[in-house]
Structure 1
């Protein structure tokens, strides 16, 4: 992967520090610039007294100095641990989610932590869902502390977004020198038809043929990459979350629904956004590696 710019949400929280380390490690492999990003989300107005509305009150000089100092310290730390990685900082007085979505048009990767206390924190809520659903580049949500030898896991189906996820996962596995575990899961039939003879709990050769062709094509493209492939009848969210227990990175595509593509994350991505035991990469059909 020849990534050029990685934007990492940074607010000094433990989650954002984990995200920064992940981003710096990725940049060391790819030669990317790492940009430490902070967004102020100030109230539209703040009362000067308990009953008196007032105009907007933006961060004062002390707050600005504290934020800039924290980001500069992150850069200093990055130079000590990853001296070969280029770094930059950006501070915006705007909504974090919309700014990151807009910036994702020019970035190659956005990296966010899973806990925090500012505009780039709270990532189990609306920000992570919004950025993951609407970003124009892959979004990585950093979680856990997996071994560097653990495999990359990717969930695929027949959609265009999962093929983009597969390409991203292959490049991640190759760059990290680890194996790739590819999972194709068919949801089991439940309810009225569950106990009938019409239901099979095994994947037929015809059903898995496109999956087998996909695996064969990637084995041909990457003959040195160890690819383990599983085709199962199980809910995709469940099998992927379980596979994530022994993975260093879990990769999925997006299945947005609604009048605008990507308006919402699909149910599997939504579930993993909250419950993935390892770092999660969410890849859009437009998120092609550069």
Structure 2
């Protein structure tokens, strides 16, 4: 695995936000690579051959997008590439060796009114490495928040969240939400206090080994009787990063992105890091 963060650049404001976020992240001594993919199939009409000037113009535009992005990275060493390839396919290929991908929440080709672009959703669903979807306010201050539900992807997300909190020197809030109910939940019954104690104990057990490896990370354990998506979206208002597994215990088997991760990609108020098992 190459120790680099790969950022997708398409000339949009959202992509430039992702470049700024990644340029800050690479101060952890990893490399930064900016990629612009030019999908030539979108410009072909009926399979007719296109003049070389058409390809030259596409390449020139891509180089300009990357030049604008490089100017935002300051003194961070950066490499660039502008291949002729579909964006999703290229990013998924780079995800096989990257430490992380970073994408803007929407791109130049997105439809007006969409909360997140199709590229961000597709890449988060299929990538081989964690995918940061950079959205909301600038990621400064606040804790790292991670959703924990005991699923394999949740365990992967927990490991990544500890690493992020340690590098950023901020607290980690580990959230376990008790219900995936689609309707409003009734007020807690008298037995809720006992359930909460049991869930807090189980959450502490999941955190124990990682806390030994990250002794400087201050951890807050939170158990709530709420839907995971609602609790994590609420906490994104004050967090600098929310980390979540691509798919948890709930939902239909075979889905690559669960409802919680999809909700965060579309609506979170800070950057979201979606973690899939490699």
Q: Per the shorter chain, which TM-score range?
A: 0.7 to 0.9
Shift of 1:92: 2.1
2:65 is aligned, of 54, 61, 70, to 70
Measure, in 2, the Cα distance between the counterparts of 1:3 and 1:166: 22
Please name the residue that 2:206 is paired with: 214
Measure, in 2, the Cα distance between the counterparts of 1:251 and 1:242: 14
2:103 is aligned, of 98, 112, 125, to 112
Instruction: Structure 2 unaligned segments of length 5 or more: list them.
Output: none
Residue correspondence of structure 1 range 119-198 to structure 2 within 5 A: 124-146=116-138, 148-187=140-179
CA deviations on 1:119-143 (whole Å, 9 max, x unpaired) are: 9xx8813221211011010000111
1:70 match: secondary structure: helix
* Alpha carbons 1:15, 1:115 under 8 Å: kept: yes
Normalising by structure 1, what TM-score? 0.82
CA deviations on 1:218-243 (whole Å, 9 max, x unpaired) are: 33332221111101110000000000
* Alpha carbons 2:4, 2:32 under 8 Å: kept: yes
State whether structure 2 residue 89 is matched by structure 1 residue 95: no
* Alpha carbons 1:165, 1:251 under 8 Å: kept: yes
- Rg: which structure is higher? 1
Measure, in 1, the Cα distance between the counterparts of 2:273 and 2:98: 15
Alpha-carbon spacing, 1:284–1:67, altered in 2? closer, same or farther (3 Å): same
Instruction: Structure 1 unaligned segments of length 5 or more: list them.
Output: 48-52
1:245 match: secondary structure: coil
Measure, in 2, the Cα distance between the counterparts of 1:32 and 1:190: 42
Measure, in 1, the Cα distance between the counterparts of 2:138 and 2:67: 28
Query: Hey, which bits of structure 1, 4+ residues long, moved more than 4 A?
Result: 188-191, 193-197, 199-202, 256-260
- RMSD over aligned Cα atoms: 2.9
Shift of 1:149: 2.4
Measure, in 2, the Cα distance between the counterparts of 1:278 and 1:69: 28
Shift of 1:276: 0.8
1:264 match: secondary structure: coil
Larger deviation, residues 123-132 vs 106-115: 123-132
Shift of 1:254: 1.6
2:48 is aligned, of 44, 51, 55, to 55
1:86 is aligned, of 72, 77, 81, to 77
Please name the residue that 2:8 is paired with: 9
Aligned residues: 270
Please name the residue that 2:22 is paired with: 23
